[in-house]
Amino acid sequence: MSGVLCYGEALIDFLQFQSQEQDGLIINDYRQFPGGAPANAAVALAKLGGRAQFAGQVGSDQFGEFLIYSLAHYGVNTQFTLKHETAPTPQAFVHLDASGDRSFTFMRKDSADLLLTPEQVSEAWFANNSLVHLCSNTLTEAGAAATTQTVLEQAKALNLQVCFDVNLRANLWKDQHIDIVLVNQVVKQADIVKFAKEEFELLAQGNPEQYLADCLAANCQLILITNGGDEIEYVSKQFRGHVIPAKTKVVDTTAGGDGFIGAILYLLSETTQLETLLNSEAHIQSAVAFASCAGAIAVSTQGAFPALPSFTQVSDLFNEQFSGTYDAAFLE
């Protein structure tokens, strides 16, 4: 059994769950959930039965304590989840429309996650792990980006594979100006990259085929492009195709992508290796279909950590929707 280090932000999601009229005003009610994309991925992996560590920094406040407790509650190792003495735990207010799609208001100025320094990155983070997972939200400010690059360099020096879920949030960047060059530098250092379709189109800058070729020529071994409930594209050096994802009723899309990539991380750390997966298009298709089931279950319930499914739930949905289409033998 090999482990996965998930690096980045853990934050409080204040999720809009209902509204009420009062004295002529519409008053929104928000409920506190633990979240943050790489933290969600760590919980997704742990709830499937994998071994996950979360490395990041929260505040020494009630929100930080709640996040550490919540990660540990789901079996994530929090040994390297640090606490800043004075900086606050980051927060995000998640607004939902009628179809369950999200928009975000972030409270993240000088928050604890952004103040983690390269000197705090320890080689101990990487011991007994085969994979390092991260997202783009630790690239939005210069100091955090330098720490992220240190994490990447140490992972590569130890021959660990890197998974990068692009997960762009424009309103976290100064003046909502995403540094495409910087994000693409990380894309091309990663072994596994997950894009949402709109992220892929933005980063490809109008030339998707050349962009794919450049990514594969750099370091990328497996590229996954999700598109909500539509087809998921997979691209490797040998294979390229699409998988129709599992169907579900969408309630809240907050943890859908994190549930998906958490399932991919689980498969790579528990049941197969990337090289084995890449040797068989049938295995890639089965892995993507399995991961789509994890994402489908996650979006059918409100919140992030609590919405992420167990292995039994994902396996049952896989057998229900994909039996006879994809081979589940290597998933077991």
Coil, helix or strand for 52? Answer: strand
Taking only the tens place, the pLDDT of each residue in 237-274 is: 999 999 999 999 988 888 899 999 999 999 999 877 88
Write down the domain spans for the chain: 3-11+35-90+108-322
Which segment of 92-101, 183-192, 221-230, 314-323 scores lowest on mean pLDDT? 92-101
Q: Which fold has domain 3-11+35-90+108-322?
A: UDP-N-acetylmuramoyl-L-alanine:D-glutamate ligase (3.40.1190)
Q: What are phi and psi of 122, to 5 degrees?
A: -110, 145
For residue 72, the model assigns a pLDDT of 98
Beta bridge partners of 84: 59
Q: Decide which of 195 and 128 is more confident.
A: 195
Q: Do 259 and 295 meet the contact criterion of CB atoms below 8 Å apart?
A: yes
Taking only the tens place, the pLDDT of each residue in 62-99 is: 999 999 999 999 999 999 999 999 999 999 998 877 66
Q: Quick one: tokens of 298?
A: 């996650």
Calpha distance 12→236 (Å, rounded): 35
